[in-house]
Amino acid sequence: MGAVAACLAIVIAVGGILAPFSGGMIVSAYAYGTNEEITAAGAVMNSGTISDSGEMKGQPLMFYLSGKDIATVRFSCKNQQINFWDWTEKRDEYGNAQNFTVAYGEDESEYYYLTISWVPNAIIRELTDNEDSTIAALPEEMRNDIIVMEITFENGKTTTKAITISLLDDGRFFASFDDYQISEEDTFINRPDSEAIGAAPVIEDNYKEADPNEPEQIVIPNSITFTGTIIDNVIESLVPIILVDVEENSGLSYDKVLFELTEEQKDWKLKTGTWVQIVCSDFFQESTPPIGNLISITEAAPNDELKIADEAARAYYENTVFEVVSLELKSQTENKIIFSVCASKDGVIQGPNRTITLQLNNETWEVVNEGY
* DSSP codes joined into one string, 122-137: HHHHHHHH-TT--TTT
What digits encode the pLDDT tens for the residues 318-369? 888 888 888 777 776 667 888 888 888 877 887 778 888 888 888 888 888 8
Residue 14 neighbours by CB under 8 Å, 6+ apart: none
Q: In the CATH scheme, what is the homologous superfamily, with its name and number, of domain 223-299?
A: Nucleic acid-binding proteins (2.40.50.140)
SS3 state of residue 14: helix
Query: Angle 85-98-131 (CA atoms, 0-180°, nearest 5)?
Result: 105
Q: Would you give the DSSP letter of residue 266? A: G
Q: How far is CA 65 from CA 69, 108, 357, in A?
A: 12, 10, 48
Q: Comparing 210 with 72, which gets the higher pLDDT? A: 72
d(CA 156, CA 288): 37
What digits encode the pLDDT tens for the residues 130-185? 888 899 999 999 999 999 999 999 999 999 999 999 999 999 999 999 999 999 99
- DSSP lists the bridge partners of residue 344 as 323, 349
Transcribe 274-286 into DSSP letters. Answer: -EEEEEEEEEEE-
Mean pLDDT of 84-93: 86
Among residues 226, 215, 219, which one has the least CA distance to residue 297? 226
**Region label for 69, one of left (φ > 0), alpha (ψ between -120 and 50) or beta (otherwise):** left
CA 246 vs. chain centroid, Å, equals 17
Q: Average model confidence (pLDDT) for the chain?
A: 80
Q: What per-residue string of b and e applies to 315-334 under the rule 16 or more CB within 10 Å gives b?
A: ebbeeeebebeebbbbebee
Question: Max alpha carbon distance in the chain (Å)?
Answer: 104
d(CA 89, CA 103): 12
Position 1 pLDDT exceeds 80: no
d(CA 332, CA 326): 17
Top CATH class of 304-371 equals alpha beta
What residue segments make up the domains of the chain, in order of their start?
27-190, 223-299, 304-371
Q: How far is CA 42 from CA 89, 111, 158, in A?
A: 31, 22, 24
Pair 298, 250: CB distance under 8 Å: no
The pLDDT confidence band at residue 231, using thresholds 50, 70 and 90, is: confident
Handedness of CA 279, 220, 91, 59 (dihedral sign): positive
Q: How far is CA 62 from CA 96, 276, 301, in A?
A: 14, 29, 37
